[in-house]
Amino acid sequence: MADLGFVGLGVMGGRIARRLLAAGHAVTGYNRTKSKAEWLIQEGLRWADSPREVVEASEMTFSMVTGTQALEAITEGPHGILAGLSPRKLYVDMSTVSPAASRGVAAEVRERGARMLDCPVSGSVVTLEEGRLSLMVGGEAEDVERARPILEQIGPKVTHVGENGQAVLMKIATNLSLAVQMLRVQRERPACGEGRHPQEDGGRGPPVQRDHIADGGLPRPVRAGDAEEAWFDIDMMQKDLPLALEAGRGFDVPLPTTAVTNELLTAARALGMGRQDFAVLFEVLARMAGVED
């Protein structure tokens, strides 16, 4: 069994940490709000007072936070992840963030003699708890193989998609496809068409993405009111689409449907739907068409 660390014990991160605990690993964890991690402490999580302390206590450290700014907050500074790294340690970030930011952190990790993988996931809380989560991994092949036995305890499908930054790029493309498909706007171009271009031009063609989606890589959306808790809400989806638009601009690839979808997400937030599952876009369109109050 391994000494593992986990920074960011939110809805998904906390359940992944619990899965690692259940597999028999020693897990040291940190979350900005300690009270949200109390249930894990009761299940055997070792608490640390900073991300640095987590890394210092672990041979492999995971993190899963809400976005690029949150990644910077946990990695930088005297109490951050980077400060705790030493040669041979492995850092695995599972957040969906800017590919450029992820590559920047990976470069800083290498300067300290450690290695980094970007490893976002596709699926939902239900997918995770059923043991069907899919993981995309970016980084050196030898580091992926070193981490693979533990990654496969999180989810059965672990796909190495290229160098650092490529996994988060693929995750962004996958979420882009999901949001566009939700609107059924295939008359302009097939939804997966836009979803594949930033990733394809970034060095990885669409077959890997198609394989990933076919094996359950996408969470199943629900219509508003079908579930007590949103699996992937409007706020989270709108965090990801600007990353897709940024990637498209970086590769000079136009994403018109994505831009329209992003505006509809803004409309949903303006209507107070930010915490509802993104399937609520159906209702937004209905209201805009004047067919629903």
- The CATH number given to whatever domain includes residue 44 is 3.40.50.720
Q: Is residue 69 part of a domain?
A: yes
- Boundaries of domain holding 234: 166-288
**pLDDT by 10s per residue, the chain, length 293:** 899 999 999 999 999 999 999 999 999 999 999 999 999 999 999 999 999 999 999 999 999 999 999 999 999 999 999 999 999 999 999 999 999 999 999 999 999 999 999 999 988 888 898 889 999 999 999 999 999 999 999 999 999 999 999 999 999 888 777 666 666 543 343 434 444 444 444 444 444 544 554 444 444 444 444 444 556 777 777 777 778 777 778 778 887 877 878 788 888 888 888 888 777 777 777 777 776 65
Q: Is residue 211 part of a domain?
A: yes
Q: For residues 158 and 139, is the Cβ–Cβ distance under 8 A?
A: no
Residues 137, 172 share a domain: no
Q: Is residue 45 part of a domain?
A: yes
Pairing of strands 134-138, 121-122: antiparallel
Task: Select from 162, 192, 215 the last residue of a domain.
Answer: 162
Provide φ and ψ at 192, rounded to 5°. -70, -15
Q: Is residue 89 part of a domain?
A: yes
Q: For residues 166 and 271, is the Cβ–Cβ distance under 8 A?
A: no
Residues 190, 145 share a domain: no
Q: Is residue 293 part of a domain?
A: no
Q: Is residue 195 part of a domain?
A: yes
H helix or E strand, kind and range, residue 4:
strand 3-7
CATH number, domain of 211, equals 1.10.1040.10
Residues 218, 108 share a domain: no
Residues 282, 139 share a domain: no
Q: Is residue 197 part of a domain?
A: yes
Residues 194, 90 share a domain: no
Question: What is residue 254's predicted lDDT score, i.e. its pLDDT?
Answer: 83
Residues 176, 108 share a domain: no
Residues 176, 88 share a domain: no
Question: What is residue 209's predicted lDDT score, i.e. its pLDDT?
Answer: 45
Q: Is residue 265 part of a domain?
A: yes
Please state the domain count of the chain. Answer: 2
Residues with Cβ < 8 Å from 225, sequence gap 6 or more?
none
Residues 248, 119 share a domain: no
Distance (Å, whole) CA 57 – CA 82:
13
**In 3-state terms, what secondary structure has residue 277?**
strand
Residues 226, 90 share a domain: no
Residues 188, 132 share a domain: no
Task: Select from 113, 134, 162 the last residue of a domain.
Answer: 162
Residues 247, 123 share a domain: no
Task: Select from 139, 162, 185 the last residue of a domain.
Answer: 162
Residues 128, 108 share a domain: yes
- 229: tokens are 């808790």
